[in-house]
Amino acid sequence: MKVHDLKPVPGSTKARRRVGRGIAGKGGKTAGRGTKGQGARSNIKPGFEGGQLPLKQRIPKLKGFKNPFRVEYNVINLDTLEAFEGDVVTPETLRSVGLVHKHGLVKVLGRGELTRRVNVSAHAFSRAATAAIEAAGGQTEVLPPPFGHGRPPAKGNALTNR
């Protein structure tokens, strides 16, 4: 058998219907496009949405946009934890001392050195912070976000205020 001997199995292929070749048979005259209307035309603009304001006109122009689902963290670094008095660090203890804002989530970042053992609970940790805390003999605990594991609630207008 050679390449030029190859052909599909009989009955597996079917010739395409040649429409618009006169009024005889199927696909004559209007060629299956019905009578008039947008479906019968051949030049609909790309992106045309049936008279609805097109997406390219609906999106905001210039200066980007504000993501309503952005998660912002109050940041605390290792050098601040080193100066913090106490072995257990939670968002509540940090708020009581005034190191983080009273609202929002807390994230620990890896700037500075940590020489003592500290148990830290926060909503997020950088890899460097986790490694430094565990190298000093401490433990890290990731707290669940208040909105559950998924997308946070959208901010703005008549929506919930956090």
The pLDDT tens digits along the chain (162 residues) read: 899 999 999 999 998 888 888 888 788 888 888 888 888 888 888 888 888 999 888 887 877 777 888 888 999 999 999 999 889 999 999 999 999 998 889 999 999 999 999 999 999 999 999 999 999 999 999 999 888 877 887 765 544 444
H/E element holding 124?
Answer: strand 124-125
pLDDT at residue 117, rounded to an integer: 93
The domain limits of the chain are 73-142
The Cα 40–Cα 128 span in angstroms is 63
pTM for this structure? Answer: 0.56
Written as six digits, the tokens of 64 are 């980007």
pLDDT at 156: 58
Architecture of domain 73-142: Ribosomal Protein L15; Chain: K; domain 2 (3.100)
Of the candidates 88, 87, 91, the one whose C-alpha atom is nearest the C-alpha of residue 101 is 91
